[in-house]
Structure 1
Amino acid sequence: MSPELIAVLAVIIAAMAFDYTNGFHDAANAIATSISTRALTPRVALTMAAVGNFIGAHLGSEVAKTVGDGLVTLKPGVPSLGVVFAGVVGAVTWNLITWYFGLPSSSSHALFGGLVGATLLASSLGSVQWDNIVTKVLIPMVASPIVGLILGFVVMVAIMWIFRRGNPGKLNRGFRHAQTLSAAAMSVGHGIQDAAKTMGIVVLALYTGGFQDSPSDIPWWVYITTATMLALGTYSGGWRIIRTLGRKIIDLGPAEGFAAETVASSVLFFNAYVLHAPISTTHTITSAIMGVGATKRLNAVRWNVAGNIVIAWVTTFPAAGLIACGIYLLVRPLFG
């Protein structure tokens, strides 16, 4: 095999490892609220999330193009593939660290941070497209949690007012059924956003290695492979983070779970199809849960837990970048 092919295969394997960790790390995004409200059993919820992620992976081409062609520019060749490899492995490492501590950090921002960090270190091989980083990553990183928080509060207030005279028992049963739909939408939205990011990395590797002429064309096998790995990772579960989102922030009821999932999935779809922005599913659903919980009373939200999560959010981009820099220094000799 040629050095280019070996290097591309190494990046693809690393990307699939990231995709798998993304699945079990972010499984909580789609199903934690449904499990905590007992709308779905854990295994049924994970199965539905895996199927939804598989379907969503085939619908996220615009986000994939943004990741593959819009964040960094690398010179063709094996050395540049070492940059991509280091960025992806940096993201995998950060995913495992935050998963161990049960923190729902953003796999997306870990990937972007790793890629940017390695590219900056290897500045002779490429450059960062800062305009797109600011408009497609940093601004959405700040805006999506704020939007999720506000919309979660507003939607939950609307539900409380509309159903203020309803029978609590019947309403809980109804919202448990409704959560099946909202969790399914959340699963598809997660697939659209997060599988697309891995697809973008694979396409970037193929283009940098000289195996295709465009950094935005996505071969059919990339859809299938990425979707399958994300679905398998999701089905394996991420129980530490599921417990954090489902119980440690606030005790959710069926109505609150439905509101949070509906808000989060709507924000994911809007950003994917209107703005083509690769936003964090983790940030979106977590902030929606906080907004929904705040309608009970402000101290109903365990803000100390929320604070730890926000710290993980803020540190993810630079931490993954630093890890990627260390990995690049280690693997650079292997990539020529």
Structure 2
Amino acid sequence: MLLGLLACCAFIAAVYVTGVHDASNAVAVPVRTRALGERSALYLAALFNVLGVVGAFLLLGEYSASWVSAPEGITGLNGIVAALLVCAIWGVLTWFLRLPSSSTHALVGALAGVSWWTQTKLEDGAEAFGSLAFLPHIFGATLLPLFYLPPLIFLLSWLMVVPFYRLVVGHNPRLVNQHAREVLAVSASAISLLHGLQTGYLYLLLWALLSERIMDPALLQSLTRGGMLLGALIIALSLGAGTLTGGRRIGYTFAYKMVRLDPFRGAVAQGTTAVVQVLGYFLLQVPFSSSHLATASALGAGVNQRFNALKSRIVLQILLVWLVTIPACFVLGVLAMVALQSIH
């Protein structure tokens, strides 16, 4: 009973912190370039995040999740709870530091940690790392997309500035900025919708895994659809509430301190992020970091101008956080797993 309550609290906390932490991905650049006001941007992002969760609930049956699983019994429940707790803690820590980081990386790192701990307790603990209990295809389906997508979107965003600049050069700058702000408003909605889709899809899968290990099997079978609907409602409310209360702290680093963007380059960056999110979600069907994509895209568009708009110290701090997220959450996942196992 106590572990079940802890699991629910950890689940809500992880989703809420994800909303707080990732709100800036969609709203920071539009607010910085005056395409949207701060409050209206957050309301818009929260609305489309909620709609994304609804979409994830409706589409859930059409997608598989070969990259994440969990052992049966108390070990599987402890592992999921430990990963959720680590994800929430890491999100709060990086939010406090005002640095954009990946909630997906944190979750993957924590799941890898609890997987390693679980494997060491099995008789065949010498199995390959790629067959870990919670991440059965950790390298091909989980880690690789998280690492190769940010450099690709940086390059793509940098390249896209050139043709669009040639398209608008010679036109009235006021009209160019006006249309760029319109693109920013639309792309902010698209990024939020796709973020809600991925977050909703991921956490609905985790909700299903939790439900299987908390509820009685007979009761679970009779409440399958209703239970998933309840999970979608919890995710939508938690993510929406987190989005409404987030944005400013990390958004200031993202749009004011990291790189200087005009409306035109901001529109290129946001549009590129939205397009890559669509391709990543519907074609690759693997987890990717919206924080990394948005940051890399803003950097790519921001550096492609005649003057130096980049603040190297801030970028290095962000890259350092990116590099340490998975190993740090791996260690935290192991520690959380040990702590939870010691309760029983």
- TM-score, length-normalised on structure 1? 0.90
Corresponding residue of 2:326: 317
Whether the aligned pair in 1 keeps the contact of 2:73 and 2:213 (CA below 8 Å) is yes
SS of equivalent residue, structure 1 residue 59: helix
Whether the aligned pair in 2 keeps the contact of 1:63 and 1:277 (CA below 8 Å) is no
Q: Give, as a single letter, the amino acid of the residue that structure 2 aligns with 1:128.
A: A
Distance in 2, matches of 1:170 and 1:178, equals 12
Corresponding residue of 2:126: none
Corresponding residue of 2:178: 173
Corresponding residue of 1:264: 273
SS of equivalent residue, structure 1 residue 128: coil
Corresponding residue of 2:128: none
Distance in 2, matches of 1:94 and 1:223, equals 23
Q: Report how far residue 181 of structure 1 moved.
A: 0.6
Which whole-Å deviations, capped at 9, do the CAs of 1:226-265 have from their partners, x for residues lacking one? Answer: 1111011000113221011111111111111111111111
Whether the aligned pair in 1 keeps the contact of 2:67 and 2:135 (CA below 8 Å) is no
Structure 1 unpaired stretches of 5+: none
Distance in 1, matches of 2:200 and 2:98, equals 22
Q: Report how far residue 66 of structure 1 moved.
A: 7.6
CA 1:27–1:141: 2 relative to 1, 3 Å: same
Q: Give, as a single letter, the amino acid of the residue that structure 1 aligns with 2:284.
A: L
Q: For structure 1, which segment, 216-225 or 289-298, has the greater mean C-alpha deviation from structure 2 after superposition?
A: 216-225
2:107 pairs with 1:98: no
Whether the aligned pair in 1 keeps the contact of 2:67 and 2:136 (CA below 8 Å) is no
Distance in 1, matches of 2:137 and 2:171, equals 48
Corresponding residue of 2:315: 306
Query: What aligned pairs does 1:285-304 form with structure 2 within 5 A after superposition?
Result: 285-297=294-306, 299-304=308-313
Distance in 2, matches of 1:128 and 1:267, equals 30
Corresponding residue of 1:327: 336
Correspondence for 1:10 among 3, 6, 11: 6
Distance in 1, matches of 2:305 and 2:136, equals 40
2:209 pairs with 1:200: no
Whether the aligned pair in 1 keeps the contact of 2:70 and 2:76 (CA below 8 Å) is no
Whether the aligned pair in 1 keeps the contact of 2:21 and 2:100 (CA below 8 Å) is yes
Query: What aligned pairs does 1:1-336 form with structure 2 within 5 A after superposition?
Result: 3=1, 6-60=2-56, 70-74=67-71, 76-123=72-119, 124=121, 127-128=132-133, 132-209=137-214, 211=217, 212=220, 219-297=228-306, 299-334=308-343, 336=344
Q: Give, as a single letter, the amino acid of the residue that structure 1 aligns with 2:144.
A: I
Q: Report how far residue 13 of structure 1 moved.
A: 2.0
> What RMSD in Å do the two structures reach over aligned CA positions?
2.5
Q: For structure 1, which segment, 236-245 or 300-309, has the greater mean C-alpha deviation from structure 2 after superposition?
A: 300-309
Which whole-Å deviations, capped at 9, do the CAs of 1:259-279 have from their partners, x for residues lacking one? Answer: 111111111111111111110
Whether the aligned pair in 2 keeps the contact of 1:12 and 1:202 (CA below 8 Å) is no
Q: Report how far residue 46 of structure 1 moved.
A: 0.3
Which whole-Å deviations, capped at 9, do the CAs of 1:271-307 have from their partners, x for residues lacking one? Answer: 1111111100000000000110121147322232112
Structure 2 unpaired stretches of 5+: 123-130
Distance in 2, matches of 1:297 and 1:11, equals 51
Matched residues, number: 329
Q: Give, as a single letter, the amino acid of the residue that structure 2 aligns with 1:311.
A: L
Distance in 1, matches of 2:75 and 2:286, equals 28
TM superposition outliers: structure 1 runs of 4+ over 3 Å: 6-9, 60-69, 124-131, 208-213
Whether the aligned pair in 2 keeps the contact of 1:72 and 1:127 (CA below 8 Å) is no
Q: Report how far residue 331 of structure 1 moved.
A: 2.0
Distance in 1, matches of 2:62 and 2:21, equals 23
CA 1:137–1:65: 2 relative to 1, 3 Å: farther
Instruction: Give percent identity, aligned residues only.
Output: 27
